[in-house]
Structure 1
Amino acid sequence: MNKCSHGTAFGWHTLRAAILIAGMLLLSQLSARAQRLANPLRQVLRHDTTGLARVLARPDFYRVQILYTRIRRDKVGTPHFRRYRYRLRPREYFYPASTIKLAAAALALEKLHAMSTTVAGLTPESVMLTDSAFAAQTRVRRDTSAASGRPSVAHYVRKALLVSDNDAFNRLYEFVGPAELNASLARLGLRHSRLQHRLSVGDQEPGSRHTNPVAFYADTAATQLLHRQPAAYYAGPWPQPKLRNQKIGQAYLQGERRVDEPLDFSQKNAFSLPDLQRLLRAVLFPETLPPAQRLQLGPSDYVLLRKALSQLPRESQHPRYDAANYPDTYAKFLLGGGGLAPLPPGVRVFNKMGQAYGFLIDNAYVVDADKGVEFLLSAVVYVNADGVLNDDKYEYDLIGFPFMRDLGQRVYEAALKKK
Structure 2
Amino acid sequence: MNYLFTSLCLCLLTIQSYAQPRTDKLLENLLETNRHPVFQEVITHPEAYRLQIIYTQIDRDAANKPSFKNYYFRVDSTEYFNPASTVKLPLALLSLEKLNRLKKPGVTKFTAMQFDSAYSGQTNEWHDKTAQTGYPSIAQFIRKAFLVSDNDAYSRMYEFVGQESINRSLHAKGYLDTRITHRFVRMSSDENRHTNPIRFIRKDGKLTYAQAAAYNRDPFDFSRIAKLGKGYYAKDSLIQEPFNFTERNKLPLASFQQMLQSVLFPLSVPEKQRFDLTPDDYTFLHQYLSQFPRETNYPKYDAQQYYDSYVKFFFMDSLHHQLPQDVRVFNKVGWAYGFLTDASYVVDFKHKVEYMLTATLYTNSDGILNDDKYEYESVGHPFLYQLGQTIYQHERKRRRQHTPNLSQFRIPYEKRANDNRPTVKDVDN
TM-score when scaled to structure 2? 0.85
Q: Structure 1's 358 and 339: CA in aligned 2 closer, same or farther, altered over 3 A?
A: farther
- The number of residues matched between the two structures is 377
Q: Tell me the residue number matched to 2:67.
A: 80
Where in structure 2 are the equivalents of 1:195-234 lying within 5 Å?
195-199=180-184, 201-219=185-203, 221-223=204-206, 225-234=207-216
CA shift at 1:350, angstroms? 0.5
Q: Is the 8 A contact 2:258 2:269 kept in 1?
A: no
The farther-off stretch of 174-183 and 338-347 is: 338-347
The C-alpha deviation readout for 1:285-344, integer Å capped at 9, x for no partner, is: 111122222111111111111111111110111111111111111111112258854212
Q: Tell me the residue number matched to 2:220.
A: 238
Residue 219 of structure 2 aligns with an amino acid whose one-letter code is: P
Where in structure 2 are the equivalents of 1:1-400 lying within 5 Å?
39-40=26-27, 42-115=29-102, 117=103, 119-199=104-184, 201-219=185-203, 221-223=204-206, 225-240=207-222, 246-337=226-317, 341-400=321-380
The farther-off stretch of 339-348 and 317-326 is: 339-348
Q: Structure 1's 113 and 233: CA in aligned 2 closer, same or farther, altered over 3 A?
A: same
Residue 209 of structure 2 aligns with an amino acid whose one-letter code is: H
Q: Is the 8 A contact 1:90 1:272 kept in 2?
A: yes
Return 5+ residue gaps in structure 2 as ranges: 1-22, 400-429
Q: Tell me the residue number matched to 1:16.
A: none
Instruction: Work out the CA distance in 2 between the residues paired with 1:282 and 1:86.
Output: 22
The C-alpha deviation readout for 1:340-383, integer Å capped at 9, x for no partner, is: 54212211101100010000001111111221211111100100
The C-alpha deviation readout for 1:180-199, integer Å capped at 9, x for no partner, is: 10111112221221100001
TM-score when scaled to structure 1? 0.87
The C-alpha deviation readout for 1:189-233, integer Å capped at 9, x for no partner, is: 21221100001x1123111001000010121x422x111001111
Q: Is the 8 A contact 2:233 2:368 kept in 1?
A: yes
| Local SS of the residue matching 1:182 | helix
Q: Tell me the residue number matched to 1:14.
A: none
Return 5+ residue gaps in structure 1 as ranges: 1-34
| Local SS of the residue matching 1:305 | helix
Instruction: Work out the CA distance in 1 between the residues paired with 2:125 and 2:44.
Output: 48
**What is the aligned-residue RMSD (CA, Å)?**
1.6
Q: Is the 8 A contact 1:337 1:404 kept in 2?
A: no
CA shift at 1:266, angstroms? 0.7
- Dislocated runs of 4+, deviation >2 Å: 337-342
The structure richer in helix per residue is: 1
User: What's the % identity of the aligned pairs?
Assistant: 42
Rg larger in 1 or in 2?
1
Instruction: Work out the CA distance in 2 between the residues paired with 1:134 and 1:304.
Output: 33
Instruction: Work out the CA distance in 1 between the residues paired with 2:58 and 2:341.
Output: 21
Residue 173 of structure 2 aligns with an amino acid whose one-letter code is: L
Instruction: Work out the CA distance in 1 between the residues paired with 2:139 and 2:32.
Output: 39
